[in-house]
Amino acid sequence: MPAKDARRLLGKRSAARLNVLRGIFLRRLSGLIAAIVLTMIVFTAINSFFLTYVNLIGLVRSMSTFTIIAFGETLVLVSGELDLSVGATYGIAAMTFGLLWMHGTPFVLALAAGLGIGVLIGLINAWITTVVRVPSFITTLGMLSLVQGVTFLISNSQSINPPSKLPGFGVFEALGGLEFPFRIPIQIAWLAAVAAIIAFVLHRTLFGFRLAAIGGNPQAARVAALPIRRYKLWVFAIAGACAALAGILDFSFIGSTTPSAGANLTFPVFAAVIIGGASLSGGRGTVLGTLIGAFFLSLLSNGLSLLGVGAFAQLIFVGLVTIGAVALDRWTTTWGGETQSIQL
């Protein structure tokens, strides 16, 4: 191809790409970012500790594990399904890993088993959803209760607290508790790594492209003969693995885990994904959106704690903001007329 043609093509291509970027980011995320900036200004004005390095680092650390789960959930939502069982998977992964390890299984094997059980739960969810054809909402709702029950059963309703003399304890502590220079906790590194991997998968691979197609119009995906079942199997497995990883990281950071760990995660995970612009009906969702959505949620919790409004008021406020954010999004997208956001 002559150089001139190539340049012309490239020019047009980047123009087209810019168009898409404009569609997604400006329309959907600019409002969210504006809300974040506004919230930060308000919190800083009230409490000067808010805008300090220590507080912000702590804020990002505290959001890292639920955001890792939210990334997996973003993939599930893009494929047009739901996974409500991620909280329970988080709990059982930590418990399985801890129990095996404390009962003499080598550290690495126990760790693999913890992650493996997350993948296994994901595969079972996917199988029931795609082969038995039970809607994923019901499948994973049932799985949530089932897995929680199993966690209580295997742990005998007891929390576990691995003693420091166990082989591999140093690595265990480091997994979620290590601190890098500039007081950056390792959890932020995990967050960044998972974000990068999922973002690559969703936005830069054929897999992500087809996944958005499958979620966007399942009938058309069938007509186009896309591998719907196989892709959904992968997606649920990744979501399970993300939840398991998050559970193990928090287990390591806290140093113990309880049978009910993860029970409160469903709200922040879904709120982050939905505030971030993913569509519950499938086909839309970005990793950056989920990340910003999670940051916004964390910011509110953190700021409200600093203000000392109390846990109950916090719950009420965060609930209102979640509904408000999506309502605002609906309003701006319908108001925007023909310029709907597109995935690619």
Positions in the binding site for other proteins (CB under 8 A):
9-10, 12-13, 15-17, 19-20, 23, 203-210, 212-213, 215-217, 219-226, 279, 283-284, 338-340, 342-344
**Could you tell me if 83 and 236 are in contact, meaning their C-beta atoms sit under 8 angstroms apart?**
yes
* Least CB distance to other proteins at residue 294 (A): 22
* Least CB distance to other proteins at residue 132 (A): 19
* Least CB distance to other proteins at residue 201 (A): 9
Instruction: List the one residue out of 259, 248, 257, 237 whose CA is nearest residue 107.
Output: 248
Alpha carbon distance 217, 203 (integer Å): 18
- Residue closer to other proteins, measured from CB, 20 or 327: 20
- Residue closer to other proteins, measured from CB, 22 or 183: 22
User: Rounded to 10 degrees, what is the CA torsion of 158, 141, 67, 240?
Assistant: 80
**Could you tell me if 176 and 247 are in contact, meaning their C-beta atoms sit under 8 angstroms apart?**
no
Amino acid residing at 152: F
* Least CB distance to other proteins at residue 273 (A): 16
- Residue closer to other proteins, measured from CB, 19 or 52: 19
* Least CB distance to other proteins at residue 27 (A): 12
| CA end-to-end span of the chain | 26
In the chain, what's the furthest Cα-to-Cα distance?
A: 72
For residue 243, give both structure tokens: 């939840």
Q: Residue 172 to residues 165, 177, 194, 260: CA-CA distances in angstroms? A: 12, 8, 19, 21
Q: Which residues of 50-63 are buried (b: 16+ CB within 10 A; e: fewer)?
A: beeeebebebbbeb
- Residue closer to other proteins, measured from CB, 213 or 243: 213
Alpha carbon distance 124, 98 (integer Å): 23
Secondary structure element (H or E) that encloses residue 246, with its range: helix 228-254
Neighbours of 142 (CB within 10 A): 15
* Least CB distance to other proteins at residue 15 (A): 7
Tracing tokens 């990793």 back to the chain, one arrives at: 287
- Residue closer to other proteins, measured from CB, 89 or 130: 130
Instruction: List the one residue out of 267, 214, 258 whose CA is nearest residue 84.
Output: 267
Q: Provide the β-strand partners of residue 50.
A: none
- Residue closer to other proteins, measured from CB, 4 or 103: 4
Neighbours of 311 (CB within 10 A): 9
* Least CB distance to other proteins at residue 1 (A): 10
**Could you tell me if 250 and 244 are in contact, meaning their C-beta atoms sit under 8 angstroms apart?**
no
* Least CB distance to other proteins at residue 80 (A): 10
- Residue closer to other proteins, measured from CB, 195 or 214: 214
Q: Provide the β-strand partners of residue 184.
A: 180
- Residue closer to other proteins, measured from CB, 99 or 274: 274
* Least CB distance to other proteins at residue 196 (A): 14
